[in-house]
């Protein structure tokens, strides 16, 4: 019985997500671990989400996952426009805050974050779809304001 490879694992975004998670893995926990397992914590099915209380404080691992997500999008923005994209994730201890990505003096992504302790996606495909939407908006803003993005 052969296992069919998941084509989503070959996309630029998912590859970058794996790189970002490995980059924050200072103890080598993910050495030799396949991408599906590395990205497993990002997938929260409805059942898994129902098990998480509505009110709660995010742990450090969850905060790192949020940062990895926006870092990966920033890298893709850089690859597309050859300009430095800088992500900033600011969260309160209660899991509320904002994610920004700037290019030059231009804010290309501005996302309010709530209930970060429940951060996740129904599937890797849904995670990629969300990233694609954010990337599309960012690139459109850069295209509309190249003079500000170039500062």
In a domain, 127, yes or no: yes
In a domain, 120, yes or no: yes
Give the model's pLDDT for residue 2: 46
In a domain, 90, yes or no: yes
Percentages helix, strand, coil for the chain (3-state, rounded to 5) are 50, 15, 30
In a domain, 2, yes or no: no
In a domain, 50, yes or no: yes
- The pLDDT > 70 percentage for the chain reads 97
Count Cα neighbours of 151 within 13 Å in the Cβ-side half-sphere: 8
In a domain, 1, yes or no: no
What do you get for the CA distance between the two ends of the chain, in Å? 55
Rounded CA-CA distance 87/73 in Å is 9
In the chain, how many domains are there?
1
pLDDT digits (tens, 9 = 90+) for 102-127: 999 999 999 999 999 999 999 999 99
Label residue 6 by pLDDT band (50, 70, 90). Answer: confident
Give the model's pLDDT for residue 49: 87
- Which tops the pLDDT comparison, 24 or 54? 24
Residue 20's SS3 state is helix
Q: Which residue has the tokens 């490995």?
A: 22
Cβ(58)–Cβ(116) below 8 Å:
yes
pLDDT digits (tens, 9 = 90+) for 27-43: 999 999 999 999 999 99
Label residue 1 by pLDDT band (50, 70, 90). Answer: very low
pLDDT digits (tens, 9 = 90+) for 74-102: 999 999 999 999 999 999 999 999 999 99
In a domain, 37, yes or no: yes
In a domain, 118, yes or no: yes
User: Which structural domain range is residue 62 located in?
Assistant: 7-149
Closest C-alpha to 35, from 63, 58, 60, 7: 7
- Its pTM stands at 0.92
Give the model's pLDDT for residue 53: 86
pLDDT digits (tens, 9 = 90+) for 54-63: 888 999 999 9
Assign residue 13 the CATH number of its domain: 1.10.3100.20
């Amino acid at each position: 019985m052969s296992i069919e490879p998941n084509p989503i694992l070959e996309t630029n975004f998912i590859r970058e997500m794996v790189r970002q998670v490995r980059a924050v893995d200072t103890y080598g926990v993910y050495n030799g671990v396949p991408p599906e397992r590395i990205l497993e914590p990002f997938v929260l099915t409805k059942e898994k989400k129902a098990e998480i209380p509505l009110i709660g404080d995010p742990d450090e691992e969850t905060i790192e996952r949020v940062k990895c997500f926006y870092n990966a999008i920033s890298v893709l923005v850089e690859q597309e426009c050859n300009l430095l994209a800088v992500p900033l994730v600011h969260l309160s201890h209660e899991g509320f805050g904002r994610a920004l990505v700037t290019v030059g003096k231009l804010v290309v992504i501005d996302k309010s974050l709530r209930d970060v302790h429940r951060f996740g996606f129904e599937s890797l495909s849904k995670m990629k779809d969300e990233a694609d939407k954010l990337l599309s908006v960012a690139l459109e803003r850069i295209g509309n304001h190249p003079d500000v993005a170039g500062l």
